[in-house]
């Protein structure tokens, strides 16, 4: 399989962009004057609205949040809290720059409108990739099989000629179930070891 890999597909969060979700939640708790236990069911409700799959936009999400918290956040306040802890992994960024000189790279990310706009403006994430598959744009999210098939159509390659890298077991297993060789991301060093074993670097 190693010698026929022709395209690499990368996840984003906790692969080459890191964040601290607990700190984000703490920021919202302070804004709403709620404890973490009080905020958890609200967060669960927010997650059920389909923000990551584009079924609701930012303004619609804010309206729902106001309903359940009785606190009105401006769009600016929301974006500031929602995107508070992102940072780029410099070691992974360097590896992506190296890899894209040899292979077409594709991004496959479960993300939402606010996160993507912030990350693209702050870090120019798309510079690494030939094409992007963003869950909020395509209406599917990992580990749904549809989003992997959509990504394969973007690459123009059969599944067996692609390699997928993600930090979540469920997403890696889903990719393997549609025939895509996959690596469970643990660290830049571990990924480089896996790529060397496949003869890709």
pLDDT of residue 164: 98
pLDDT of residue 111: 98
pLDDT of residue 4: 87
**69 pLDDT more than 50:** yes
**1 pLDDT more than 70:** no
Q: Do the beta carbons of residue 143 and residue 136 sit within 8 Å?
A: no
As a whole number, mean pLDDT of residues 56-77 equals 93
As a whole number, mean pLDDT of residues 29-53 equals 92
State the pTM of this model: 0.94
pLDDT of residue 60: 96
Q: What angle do CA 121, 125, 131 make, to 5 degrees?
A: 120
Mean pLDDT of the chain: 95
pLDDT of residue 27: 95
As a whole number, mean pLDDT of residues 63-74 equals 92
Which pLDDT band holds residue 162 (cuts at 50, 70, 90)? Answer: very high
């Amino acid at each position: 399989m190693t010698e026929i890999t022709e395209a690499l597909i990368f996840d984003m969060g906790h692969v080459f962009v890191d964040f601290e979700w607990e700190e984000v939640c703490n920021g919202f708790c302070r804004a709403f004057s709620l404890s973490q236990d009080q905020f958890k069911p609200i967060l669960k409700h927010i997650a059920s609205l389909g923000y990551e799959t584009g079924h609701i936009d930012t303004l619609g999400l804010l309206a729902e949040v106001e309903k359940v918290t009785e606190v009105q956040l401006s769009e600016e306040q929301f974006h500031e809290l929602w995107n508070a802890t992102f940072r780029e992994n410099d070691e992974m960024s360097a590896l992506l720059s190296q890899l894209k000189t040899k292979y077409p790279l594709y991004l496959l990310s479960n993300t939402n409108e606010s996160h993507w706009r912030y990350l693209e403006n702050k870090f120019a994430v798309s510079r690494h990739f030939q094409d992007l598959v963003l869950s909020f744009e395509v209406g599917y999210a990992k580990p749904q099989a549809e989003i992997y098939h959509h990504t394969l159509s973007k690459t123009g390659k059969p599944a067996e000629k692609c390699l997928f890298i993600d930090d979540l077991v469920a997403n890696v297993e889903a990719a393997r179930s549609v025939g895509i060789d996959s690596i469970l991301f643990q660290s830049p060093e571990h990924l480089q070891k896996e790529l060397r074993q496949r003869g890709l670097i």
